Amino acid sequence: MNSGSFSGSIDLSLLGWNDALPLPAGTVPARVARVDRGAAEVIAAEGQFQARYSARIRRAAAEDPVSLPCVGDWVALAALPEGRYELDAVLPRSSAFVRGGVSRDSRGGLSGDGQGQVLAANVDVVFVAEPSMHSTDFADLGRIERLVALAWESGGVPVVLITKADLFELGLDELLADVRAAAPGVDVHALCAQTGEGVDVVRAYLHGAKTAVILGPSGAGKSTLVNALAGEDVMETQQVRAADGRGRHTTVHRELIPLSGGGLIIDTPGIRRVGLYAMNDGVDLVFSDIEELAEGCRFGDCSHGGEPGCAVQAAVEAGELPERRLESWFKLQREAAWMARRSDARLRSEETRKWKILHKAWRQPGRNRP
């Protein structure tokens, strides 16, 4: 980090700063804790404060909302003459939770269709919280599959947390086995945030100043878990107070929460209301076992809907693949296809709109013409 030029009180490496990020000359780094209209609450070495967007940021955002700063972003602050800073650039994102017509291009970058929105950036770990019991129901494996797909899609690493484990002591092992089968290659843990049992295992994923989000249905115990992780002694609050020296009570609602034991949690309403993100590769990753089985089907374009020689149906009949899981795969594939079509349609209508504007300008008598 180019910290030699200024002396701060907050160690940005605790916020996950990575020296490899390209910081433009003459700027200082900061992490976005929350966004408002035209400005962001940022945490820099000097403390936490609001930074307005520069003209450059506003121009870029008008072109494509995906370039707007979002919670979790690392940004470059440029000093203004009056001693304040403005937010002048968003540094490259290592991962992003996106909503709307945003897709990943072949190089792994994000391209928007003018409608998309990035909900959170630079998330390393995505906790998928599912209660062992939900009112009278057991853990919902289909919901776990869908959220794990979204997690893979974001570029973060999913970890499934079976919460409220105390409600389901008998048979917990069987439940965990079912969950592991529903999320191949994904770590699965049971915990009870109320008593703190298993919380240390969750904390370990955040070592090295990692950033996490928690997805999951209402009542899964997400807030209880965040509180258990945050503890009472939230690092940043103290440091900010020390930095401004006035003991000012910072009551700004923060969406990037530094945890006392290290690491950060992003908790925003947008992230909590899951289900609206684009899904493509994520679905394939969650159902890698079915994809593998499908390689054994007689027909290359087998739909696994009753064709002869279907290895997937054979696995269902042999009891090796739960029927529920196959249905869940079909459902999420349909959903992903629907979302892809919707974002294509949006892209087309946006193009049409731009063309109409161009045409209008062209036909305007006396304008742009000799």
Q: Which is nearer to ligand GTP, 104 or 272 (CB)?
A: 272
Q: Which is nearer to ligand GTP, 167 or 276 (CB)?
A: 167
Q: Please count the other Cβ atoms lying within 10 Å of the Cβ belonging to residue 159.
A: 22
**Partner that binds at residue 193, options ligand GTP, Zn ion, none, CB closer than 5 to 8 Å by kind:** ligand GTP
* Burial track 339-348 (b if 16+ CB lie within 10 A, e otherwise): beeebeebbe
Are the CB atoms for 311 and 293 separated by under 8 Å?
yes
Q: Which is nearer to ligand GTP, 66 or 220 (CB)?
A: 220
Decide if residue 304 touches Zn ion (CB under 5 A): yes
Q: How far is the CB of 227 from ligand GTP (least distance, A)?
A: 8
Q: Which is nearer to ligand GTP, 66 or 139 (CB)?
A: 139
Q: How far is the CB of 267 from ligand GTP (least distance, A)?
A: 9
Q: How far is the CB of 192 from ligand GTP (least distance, A)?
A: 4
Q: How far is the CB of 198 from ligand GTP (least distance, A)?
A: 9
Decide if residue 316 touches Zn ion (CB under 5 A): no
Q: Is 79 annotated as a binding residue?
A: no
Q: Using CB under 6 A as the criterion, which residues of the chain lie in contact with ligand GTP when the complex forms?
A: 163-164, 166-167, 192-194, 216, 218-224, 272
Q: Could you give the CA distance from residue 49 to residue 32 in angstroms, rounded to a whole number? A: 10
Find the distance separating the first CA and the last CA of the chain, reported in whole Å: 54
Q: Is 297 annotated as a binding residue?
A: yes
Decide if residue 310 touches Zn ion (CB under 5 A): yes
Which DSSP string do the residues of 216-257 spell out, in sequence order? --TTSSHHHHHHHHH-S--HHHHHHHHHHSS-----PPPSEE
Sign of CA dihedral 99, 104, 105, 109: positive
Quick one: which of 297, 326, 332, 336 contacts Zn ion (CB under 5 A)? 297
Are the CB atoms for 71 and 269 separated by under 8 Å?
no
Q: Is 210 annotated as a binding residue?
A: no
Sign of CA dihedral 106, 108, 109, 112: positive
Q: Which is nearer to ligand GTP, 144 or 193 (CB)?
A: 193
Q: Is 217 annotated as a binding residue?
A: yes
Decide if residue 102 touches Zn ion (CB under 5 A): no
* Burial track 18-42 (b if 16+ CB lie within 10 A, e otherwise): eeeeebeeebbbbbbbbbeeebbbb
Q: Is 164 annotated as a binding residue?
A: yes
Q: How far is the CB of 21 from ligand GTP (least distance, A)?
A: 32
Are the CB atoms for 111 and 105 separated by under 8 Å?
yes
Rounded to 5 degrees, what are φ and ψ at 154? -75, -20
Binding residues for GTP: 163-166, 216-224
Binding residues for Zn(2+): 297, 302, 304, 310
- Per CB under 5 A, residues contacting Zn ion are 297, 302, 304, 310, 312
